[in-house]
Chain A
Amino acid sequence: MGIKINNENFKKNLDKNLNNDFMRAAMVKAQDLINKNRTNVLSQLGDGNYREWQKLSGEVRAHVLENLDFYLNQFAENVVKNGGNVFFAKDAKEASEYVTKLAVERGVKKVVKAKSMVTEEIGLNHHLIDAGVDVKETDLAEYILQLDDWNPPSHMVVPSLHLNRTQIKDVFAKNGYSGKDIPEDLAAFARAQLRNEYVTADMGIYGCNFAIAESGAISLISNEGNIDLCTSAPELQVAVMGMERICATYEDADICISLLARNAVGAKSTSYTTFVNGITEEGAADGAKEFHVVIVDNGRSKVLKSQFKEVLQCMRCAACLNICPVYRQVGGHSYNAIYSGPLGVVLTPLLAGYDDFKELPYMCSLCGACTEVCPSNIPLHSLIHEHKRVLAEEKKVSAFWGASMSGAGMVLSRPWMYKLGTGVAPLMTKPLMVDGKIKKGISILKGWTDKRDLPALEVVRFRDWYAKRSKGGNK
């Protein structure tokens, strides 16, 4: 699949999602619930302290990015010391090809996979399937999406947020489930199906929350236990990670993991925090006998050199999605990419180019809530604004807005033009008035007036009132 999840026109896709009442109700419910839990668990960090934590974790991440060459080398050396192999992939193709070739060479028939955004990003599943390898997603939500004909994820932490339990029951029914849409029953069905997959799989693939440079370990946090099974049952294991996903030390990772769990699911920690440290000891009952780490660049080193480099501090907690007023209304699929919400707005155009994603930076009311919550201390709203600047000033994407804004810039810096313009405006908008309000706007005003009234422009502006009053002699 890759970063882009559909080829539909942006506006059409958006309209479709805005009309999906079920999905929209689910977003509202999920946001409110996750935020409530998040606020609760963060308040236990000590009142007013969250800002300090954000700064600390931001520094930890920024430090690694400043010295990424060093830490990547240190990490890779330690992986090799631990008996593993490291492959640096410059793009999605190289990464997918490496894993697929490995699977084919080792005669792998079945892969069990834990949820990972970067494997979605590089389109690994389809690469493997095309090579004749059976892939089983084991995270419950990803499992549902896979059974639903690879329905794309709509949220980084809760990928099937857009489906309700009846829809999930229907998906399962096509795969042999005959029960009702009761969550516990559905989960039991999935569990029974998946158990068997772990023991019969020849390869485990998973992502990486943080890679520890000082030890070569991969840390993974999860709630379902599927990651522990993927990291213990198959003898051949592959971890795929974005090249930025490094913490220098366990101590640094501790800070990040503490914030990740709290922000992602509103819990002090997730049910499982797993560390994979290379191949298993001789004679151990489980664990990897062969271990590979694929470190993916796929545009990241370019981002690292740009004014957007702070976005690489991201720990994929989805707190920014969960707080965003736009995401709340439109849902994950409206961003046309696997990364959605404020993070997606910033990251997607950087990794996949502006051409297909030039609308994204405008899906933002600049409210700044994302920046306020981000545990990686990324100034998300400023980076979104920087995208708009690039689109406006460097790419010149819209002749209409370019001209309008030139006009506005001119009027707003020349008082005589401003006074003239605001003086005649009420006259010009008079034909649009109904009951003292503008209810049916034309051109760009339509976007406003389709659902909202607009007050009439003042015939007596404040400045006119004030001037008249001053002449009255009191000031």
Chain B
Amino acid sequence: MKVTLFTTCIVDFMAMNVGKATVELLEGLGHEIDYPKNQTCCGQPTYNTGYVEKTKNTIKHFIETFEHADVIVSPSGSCVMFVKEYAHIMADDKEWKERAEKVAAKTYELSQFLIEVINVDDFSAKLPGKAVYHHNCHTARFLKVKEQPIKLLSKVEGLELVDFHNSDKCCGFGGTFSVKMGDISAEVADEKARYIMDANPDYLIGADFACLMNIGGRLSRLGSNIKVMHIAEVLNSK
């Protein structure tokens, strides 16, 4: 299948390894990657801060960049959730609303795509050690992608997945919230990091780099050596 990849801005310039692992993983499963070079961002930074009008051009740009695709896959559930909001945001403009709906219908978060669309069962991935999984709020709550990553991780040879206290709660990232209300955001991240450390894992795994960067940033400041990995990197570990 030809898979059009939306890496997200944050993966592009802050976590190229996540993008790389996604490409290698999908290619390894026999798919062809299409990477539209003009892609930028889903538009959440401006939208979530309240600047809806200033977001509309970003949305239009996304639609133009991706509407040729058969299927759009992204290693970030939060951004996928936002793409699915486009039609609602463009509700006053019939043409763009319809184009938004079409794009949204073929956009998937990576683990969702692997389970729901291509239904893969085996990656022959190997990663020995103990791990905790952090659910991104938008992915679990709004996109309803919660079981999929767990199912995928259960197939990774050598990997033991353990739970930790309040594992379904927000990590405190929240986009511009993390700098606008940096104090509060950091306190939420601190609590999350400490509960993770209590479970004493080797790895913290997630499917959204923003949360991982947030929790990982606190773990690193606390001197922890828990390794932070995106699910694409885990599934691509051989």
Query: Across the interface, do A388 and B50 meet the contact criterion of CB distance under 8 Å?
Result: yes
B159 lies within 8 A of chain A by Cβ: no
B14–A457 CB distance below 8 A: yes
| Residue in B60, B188, B216, B218 whose beta carbon sits within 8 Å of that of A326 in the complex | B188
Known contacts A455-B14, A455-B15: A367-B174 contact under CB 8 Å:
yes
A452 nearest CB across to chain B (Å): 3
Interface of A is mostly: helix
Inter-chain contact B169/A389, CB cutoff 8 Å: no
Any A CB within 8 A of the CB of B98:
no
1/0 contact string of A376-401 vs chain B (CB within 8 Å): 00000000010111111100000001
Q: Which B residues lie within 8 Å of A454 (CB)?
A: 213, 217
**B16 cross-chain contacts in A, Cβ below 8 A:** 458, 460-462, 464-465
Option from B37, B60, B169 in Cβ contact (under 8 Å) with A413? B60
Contact A393 B52 (CB under 8 A): yes
The answer to whether B40 touches A451 (Cβ under 8 A) is no
B40 touches A413 (CB 8 A): yes
Interface of B is mostly: helix
Q: Is A301 an interface residue (CB 8 A)?
A: no
| Chain A window 21-59, contacts with chain B (Cβ cutoff 8 Å), 1 for yes, 0 for no | 000000010001000000000000000000000000000
Answer whether residue B187 sits at the interface, using C-beta atoms and an 8 A cutoff. yes
B14 touches A365 (CB 8 A): no
CA–CA, A413 and B217, complex, Å: 29
> By the criterion CB–CB under 8 Å, are B182 and A450 in contact?
yes
Known: A365-B172, A462-B12, A463-B12. A393 touches B181 (CB 8 A): no
Interface size on B, residues (CB 8 A): 68
Q: Which of A87-95, A190-198, A261-269, A439-447 contacts B (4 or more CB under 8 A)?
A: A439-447
Q: Contact residues of B with A, CB < 8 Å?
A: 7, 9, 11-16, 18-20, 23, 32-33, 35, 37-41, 43, 45-46, 48-55, 57-58, 60-61, 137-138, 141-142, 166, 169-170, 172-175, 177-191, 213-214, 216-218, 220-221
Q: Footprint of B on A, CB under 8 Å?
A: 14-15, 18, 28, 32, 325-326, 328-330, 361-369, 372, 385, 387-393, 401-402, 405-406, 408-415, 418, 422, 425-426, 437, 439, 444-448, 450-455, 457-458, 460-467, 475
Contact sample, A vs B, 5 pairs, CB 8 Å cutoff: A362-B181, A366-B48, A447-B185, A458-B13, A462-B16
Additional pairs, 18, CB under 8 Å, beyond known A405-B51, A415-B61:
A15-B183, A325-B169, A362-B180, A365-B177, A366-B174, A369-B141, A372-B141, A389-B51, A392-B49, A393-B52, A422-B9, A444-B179, A448-B186, A451-B190, A462-B13, A462-B15, A462-B20, A463-B35
